[in-house]
Copies of this chain bind each other. A is one copy, B any other.
Amino acid sequence: MTPDEFRKIGYRVVDWIADYRAQISELPVMASTAPGAVKAHLPSDPPENPESFDQIFRDLDEIIVPGLTHWQHPRFFGYFPANSMLASVLGDYLSTGLGVVGISWQSSPALTELEEVVTDWMRRMMGLSSEWSGAIQDTASTSTLVSLLCAREKATKYGLDRGGLQAEEHPLVVYVTAQTHSSVEKAALLAGFGRNNLRVVGHDRGYAMSVQALRDAVERDIRAGAIPAAIVATTGTTATTALDPIAAIAEVARARGIWLHVDAAMAGSAMILPECRWMWEGVERADSLVVNAHKWLGVAVDCSLYYVRDTEHLVRVMSTSPSYLKSAADARVKNLRDWGLPLGRRFRALKLWLLIREQGVAGLQARIRRDHENAKWFVAQVGAAPGWRVLAPVPLQTVCVRHEPPGVEGDALDRHTLGWVERVNQSGGAYLTPAALDGRWMVRVSIGSALTEKEDVAVLWELMREKAEGH
């Protein structure tokens, strides 16, 4: 494909995406395709000779789009908002088109330095002190794994340079709650801590970590000869956006020299609003922090911002320096390969840069505030409707609800809940994802897609009542 052919088909791609985005509200939100249906329409062998873009666009329309759940839909209320705002999309287009790779500063200086600049912009936007330095990872799963590896190596005084985790006499322990995201458990297991050394400490009635339970668990472990290595506190848990009390947890961490990681993957975007920053009060005393700019904020996936205070420690844990990656500039520059797992990186900073510039901080703030207002409005509707219940505090944009008809309890209530959610999703009118809370299914209404206006929330609410109440 020559640059001129690229120009021609590129226009067509841009048109196709523009049309997709313009008409997205008319599509059923959730894919209703059956398992294997997409595969069944695709040849099992690759084409020996070139195929035309006419054929490719036809397949996109006929096979791919019907097989998608539309995350950018105004009535997507599932999982979390993963806004791929159009300015950010264009930033990513620049990145892919340039086709440069960051494996050391010299391999593309602007890639590294723009990443430094925009992660610092985000630091300022979230009101964090200049003690923090950031880099872009793919997802919070990875950021959290990096954090737990740093915690492990701090506790073992760089055991990786000797016998690894295999040579430790005293087990290292990680502390979470039952509300902590599953990726933390995964990271702890992959980092080698072992499930037996993952302490699930209690939470309060608002689903936030109990500091007393944490303190008790830490003391118990110390008495038993174990070494408390890491606490993962969450600002905005996945199920209910509960807020672990960071300041009090940080005190426990500091008193015992424990690494504190703050998972603000979802809620971190709200910290660009000064009025929300009480939610992570104490964050300045954490060791590491993850905020996914590819969620509520609006950057196309993947763009997970990972911040640390002790950059020297991070680099010492992550760095390798083979001859073929050395350059004369190394002593004076940031080599982002030493800030995470992968050696090579895309020019991800461009998509964050374009989003912030096209929206301005004020524009981003206004949208997040709109979503807060919509969530409040929705809570008021649910609270006023007989048989409906809001199950957890709503500090942000996720509302946990259940319809509890009189006399329906226990497993029958679970069946009722899963039943009406499925009917909502199958209707195509909106998309919701259920989750378990206190052992029972409930429904998370996650408000914050970029296109979601109050009217969309109103449509959802009508649909929920129709499908749950059966009228």
Contacts and interface: CB of A to CB of B under 8 A. Distances in A.
B45 A121 contact: yes
A171 B163 CA distance: 8
A256 interface: no
A139 B344 contact: yes
A194 to B, nearest CB: 2
Contacts of A161: 189, 194-195
A329 B32 CA distance: 11
Given A18-B3, A97-B89, A360-B47, A160 B189 contact: yes
Interface stretch (A77-85, A205-213, A273-281, A377-385): A77-85
A356 B47 contact: yes
Contact of A194 (B13, B94, B160): B160
A324 B110 contact: no
Interface string A57-81: 0001001111111111000001100
A333 interface: yes
A84 B92 CA distance: 14
A167 B19 CA distance: 56
Given A163-B171, A164-B197, A435 B323 contact: yes
Given A60-B94, A93-B93, A302-B346, A324 B239 contact: yes
Contacts of A42: 113-114, 117
Interface stretch (A101-109, A215-223, A282-290, A305-313): A101-109
Interface string A11-26: 1011111111110000
A325 interface: yes
Contacts of A182: 320-322, 325, 343
A157 interface: no
A315 interface: no
A48 interface: yes
A324 B192 contact: no
Interface stretch (A141-149, A241-249, A386-394, A457-465): A141-149
- Most chain B beta-carbon neighbours within 10 Å: one of A166, A167, A193, A317: A166
A332 interface: yes
Could you tell me the dominant secondary structure of chain A's interface residues? helix
B333 A35 contact: yes
Interface string A418-438: 000010000000000111100
Contacts of A44: 117, 120
Interface string A155-169: 000011111111110
A168 to B, nearest CB: 6
A4 interface: yes
B302 A105 contact: no
A27 B193 CA distance: 50
Nearest to A187: B341
Interface in A346-366: 346, 350, 354, 356-363
A190 B45 CA distance: 38
Contacts of A356: 46-47
A192 B86 contact: no
Interface string A38-51: 11001011111111
A31 B96 contact: no
Contacts of A371: none
A397 interface: no
Contacts of A87: 1
B14 A238 contact: no
A152 interface: yes
Given A14-B14, A164-B189, A436-B323, A98 B20 contact: yes
A252 interface: no
A191 B165 CA distance: 9
Nearest to A161: B195
CB-CB nearest 3 A-B residue pairs? A164-B194, A84-B99, A67-B110
10 contacts: A3-B22, A5-B86, A69-B106, A140-B343, A160-B192, A186-B318, A191-B192, A238-B322, A239-B323, A323-B435
